[in-house]
Amino acid sequence: MAHAEEIGAAGAEKSGAVMRRLGVRRERGGTAPLPAPVVEVLVMGPHAEAARRRPSGTCGIDLTEAARPLPGHIWRSPRPEPA
């Protein structure tokens, strides 16, 4: 808890850059018109969960292996519905 504010600020800085980029995509119709917090959960959630589980040693996630399929699936999640 002593470093929670510092960690939160660092995370906000990194996720802020991603969210700004996604905002541009949303304006161009490249992502679904979802609230920013929902998009953040969709895009950042898998990374955060993998990072959270990794130190326990019981997660069963090989990060090298997960790095291949995860990005494509993550980026497809906020796509707009087909017309």
CA 16 – CA 41 distance, rounded (Å) = 13
Domain ranges of the chain: 1-77
Rg, Å, the chain Cα set: 15
Question: In the prediction, which pLDDT does 35 show?
Answer: 84
Are 80 and 29 contacting, i.e. CB atoms less than 8 angstroms apart? yes
Question: In the prediction, which pLDDT does 70 show?
Answer: 84
Segment 5-57, tens digit of pLDDT: 776 777 677 777 777 887 888 888 888 888 878 888 888 788 777 777 777 77
